[in-house]
């Protein structure tokens, strides 16, 4: 019965397991590829194997899209109040305080003035890390003020959307931001000042129902989830199966809801080209 015996030692008992430090590797959700974070950053947080676009925050978008050291933030320390004294698993005021401490953000959007290939723009970028990128009164107010800045100085406006929708801990105060930002954009359109909207994964709810879909040009990243309600809610409402991928960028482009799908590596040059053309 010699065939049950090993002819040689395949694994040395003296060999040591190599420890991989935590936080240095990421797994692609699309193809399962394991990527070193440094390589991922050099590739602008996209998978080199399948081009999956990882979800990134406002600081990363600022570093990718704006000229180095050109961004000057506006209304940085504006924070949400708790007008409804809302409480679920914890008090809303406590949730705000803990999220500020955890993310080093004051709310779910950064706004300011920067440059893209030397061209000055008003730039707003949402961040899903702050309570799911939800739009509360601070997000609405900061975007409204950014639109006013673009109107005053006649600068192109760019908004990067990334949101789970309205922040319902603020109730009607949150929903009012849809009308406030939309009316400001109407004034911008009358002045013929360009607004480019960039939709990233995910862009949903009240953000989709307001400024995200009001751009003169609407761009989306590949395979970004874009919609109002989620697929499960829609299916339960209409009682029918939905087309595969119907809330993804590719389906929206095919049906005329967006103008372009642009790879993150090409986004800065595309924005620069559009700004020059629209201006």
* Spans of all domains in the chain: 23-54, 56-278
Closest by Cα among 202, 124, 107 to 159: 124
* pLDDT score recorded for residue 144: 98
Backbone angles phi, psi at 72, to 5 degrees: -120, 110
What span, in angstroms and rounded, lies between the C-alpha atoms of 54 and 29?
Answer: 8
pLDDT of res. 134: 97
pLDDT of residue 18: 46
pLDDT of the residue at 222: 98
State the virtual CA torsion across 86, 92, 93, 99 in degrees, nearest 10. -170
In sign, the C-alpha dihedral spanning 189, 193, 199, 205 is negative
Structure-block tokens of residue 79: 């924070």
Question: Which tens digit of pLDDT belongs to each residue from 112-158?
Answer: 999 999 999 999 999 999 999 999 999 999 999 999 999 999 999 99
What whole-number distance in Å separates Cα of residue 73 and Cα of residue 52?
A: 30
Contact indicator for 164, 97 with CB cutoff of 8 Å: no
Cα-to-chain-centroid distance, residue 101: 20
Residue 4: helix, strand or coil by DSSP?
Answer: helix
- In the numeric block, which tokens belong to residue 52? 């999956």
56-278 CATH: 3.90.226.10
Give the pLDDT confidence score for residue 4 in this predicted structure.
52
Q: How far from 36 is each of 27, 45, 84, 118, CA to CA, in Å?
A: 9, 11, 44, 32
pLDDT digits (tens, 9 = 90+) for 184-198: 999 999 999 999 999
| Omega within 30 of 0 (cis) for the link into 245 | no
**Beta strand pairing call for 109-116 and 260-261:** unpaired
Please enumerate, as own/partner, the contacts of 207-211 that have beta carbons within 8 Å and a separation of 24 or more.
207/126, 207/133, 207/135, 207/161, 207/163, 207/165, 207/166, 208/161, 208/163, 208/165, 209/178, 210/177, 210/178, 210/179, 210/181, 210/182, 211/143, 211/159, 211/161, 211/181, 211/182, 211/185
Contact, 228 vs 205, CB < 8 A?
yes
pLDDT tens by residue, the chain, 279 residues: 554 555 555 555 555 544 445 679 999 999 999 999 999 999 999 999 999 999 999 999 999 999 999 999 999 999 999 999 999 999 999 999 999 999 999 999 999 999 999 999 999 999 999 999 999 999 999 999 999 999 999 999 999 999 999 999 999 999 999 999 999 999 999 999 999 999 999 999 999 999 999 999 999 999 999 999 877 888 888 888 888 888 999 999 999 999 999 999 999 999 999 999 998
How far is the C-alpha of 247 from the C-alpha of 164, rounded, in Å? 14
**pLDDT in the model for residue 20:** 45
């Amino acid at each position: 019965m010699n065939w049950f015996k090993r002819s040689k030692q395949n694994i040395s008992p003296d060999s040591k397991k190599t420890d991989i430090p935590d936080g240095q590797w990421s797994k692609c959700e699309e193809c399962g590829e394991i990527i070193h974070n440094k390589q991922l950053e050099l590739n602008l947080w996209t998978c080199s194997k399948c081009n999956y676009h990882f979800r990134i925050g406002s600081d990363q978008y600022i570093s990718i899209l704006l000229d180095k050291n050109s961004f000057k933030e506006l209304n940085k320390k504006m924070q949400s109040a708790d007008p409804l004294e809302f409480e679920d698993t914890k008090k809303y005021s406590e949730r705000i305080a803990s999220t500020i401490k955890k993310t080093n953000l004051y709310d779910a959007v950064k706004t300011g003035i920067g440059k893209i290939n030397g061209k000055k723009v008003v730039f707003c970028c949402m961040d899903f890390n702050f309570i799911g990128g939800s739009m509360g009164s601070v997000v609405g107010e900061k975007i409204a003020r950014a639109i006013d800045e673009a109107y005053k100085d006649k600068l192109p406006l760019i908004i990067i959307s990334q949101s789970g929708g309205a922040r319902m801990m603020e109730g009607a105060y949150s929903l009012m931001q849809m009308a406030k930002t939309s009316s400001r954009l109407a004034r911008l359109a009358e002045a013929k000042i360009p607004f480019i909207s960039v939709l990233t994964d995910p862009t949903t709810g009240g953000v989709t129902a307001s400024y995200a879909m009001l751009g003169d040009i609407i761009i989306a990243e590949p395979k970004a989830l874009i919609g109002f309600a989620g697929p499960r809610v829609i299916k339960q409402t209409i009682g029918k199966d939905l087309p595969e991928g119907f809330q993804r960028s590719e389906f929206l482009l095919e049906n005329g809801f967006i103008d372009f799908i642009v790879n993150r590596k090409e986004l800065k040059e595309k924005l620069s080209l559009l700004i020059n053309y629209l201006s």
